[in-house]
Chains A and B, each alone.
Chain A
Amino acid sequence: MSIFGHPLHPMLVPLPIGAFVFGVIALLLFTVSGDPFWLQGSYWLAIAGVVTASAAAVAGFMDWLGIPGDSRNRNIGAWHLALNLTLVGLFFVSWLILGGFGGATGANATFALVLQVVGALMLGVSGWLGGEMVFGKPEEDQKPTEQPKQEQQSGQPAT
């Protein structure tokens, strides 16, 4: 999925990354300092991350559908997708724990923090998998080529 020839998914993924990671930091600051500003910050960033991650997921899923079924990137993409859906779920649950639709209350903030830290770690792994798809070894370098077999049969290098 692209806009004016530019892939949409890589444009969108920095948004949930920024929101989720800074949200975790904010919640950590709240648990340390007790300053409600950081609780509010984490609350708003968690839901902002969930919303923007959902948008990025749609674009990413459309891209994933276009990857050939037997390729390495298809498999990596499936793990990437599964991890992302799980971590978005974790952040959504943490947002609900922080207050959900009723606004930030700070109840069970420690449990919410644990969920967010796990989610952030998953985000790191998922991001690494995403990087593998884009910057990793090119697909053609990893598939065994048929050329040596042809050479063996004909006795001459295939052209």
Chain B
Amino acid sequence: MSTLVAVRGRPAILTDLFRPVLFSFSFGCFVFAAAGLIVFAGTEGLFFLRLSYWLAEAGLVTGLVAALIGVAEWSFALGEADARDGLWHSGRDVLVLTLFAAAWTSLGGFHGAPATIGRDITLAMFTEFMAIALLVSFEVSFAVEGRPRMKGGLT
């Protein structure tokens, strides 16, 4: 969900502000959602389970908006060499959002934040940590280092 180097020079309001901010907010929410689950697992405090649910939801909503902006930016780069990198990038983002959507659903989803502590959080923890591992290992460093690392690693 990071800003593509490919879209440098595109509408600045999108590349310089909205998407990186949305991505950062989304990523931060996801990390603290996972942290909330860890604290819940250690303390069984319902508060942390509910906070984790809301953080996952906030991360999902902003992540989806960031993804939509990213698709719009990617469409500008169609036909350029960077568009292929963007495809990989969007594929990983879809995977990350899907994993967090699964975690959010297992925590309560559209039924609302969990009201009891008797919930099995194994699936939520597993999917959230998988997603964060994906984000940390690829997306964030790619935001700064750009194409060379992508080419060496994935294409």
Contact = CB atoms under 8 A, between A and B. Distances in A.
A11 B16 contact: no
Interface string A27-71: 000000000010011001100100000000000000000000000
Interface string A122-137: 0010011001101110
Interface residues of B, number: 31
A132 to B, nearest CB: 7
B120 interface: no
Interface residues of A, number: 28
A124 B28 contact: no
Contacts of B55: 18, 22
B130 interface: no
Contact of A11 (B20, B26, B30, B140): B140
A112 to B, nearest CB: 18
Given A18-B26, A18-B31, A41-B54, A10 B143 contact: yes
A16 interface: yes
Contacts of A127: 20-21, 24
Interface in B119-151: 136, 140-141, 143-145
Contacts of B32: 15, 18-19, 22, 45, 48
Q: Is the interface of B mostly helix, strand, loop or mixed?
A: helix
B25 A131 contact: no
Nearest to B7: A135
B89 interface: no
A146 to B, nearest CB: 26
A21 interface: yes
Given A14-B28, A18-B26, A19-B28, A132 B16 contact: yes
A127 B16 CA distance: 9
Nearest to A45: B32
A18 B136 contact: no
A61 B35 CA distance: 26
B47 A37 contact: yes
A81 interface: no
A18 B28 contact: yes
Given A7-B144, A22-B29, A134-B143, 13 more contacts: A6-B141, A14-B23, A15-B31, A15-B32, A18-B26, A18-B28, A18-B29, A18-B31, A37-B50, A37-B51, A40-B47, A128-B17, A135-B8
13 contacts: A7-B141, A10-B144, A11-B141, A14-B23, A14-B28, A15-B28, A18-B25, A21-B25, A22-B54, A40-B51, A48-B35, A127-B24, A131-B17
Task: List the 4 closest A-B pairs by CB distance, nearest first.
Answer: A18-B28, A14-B27, A6-B141, A14-B24
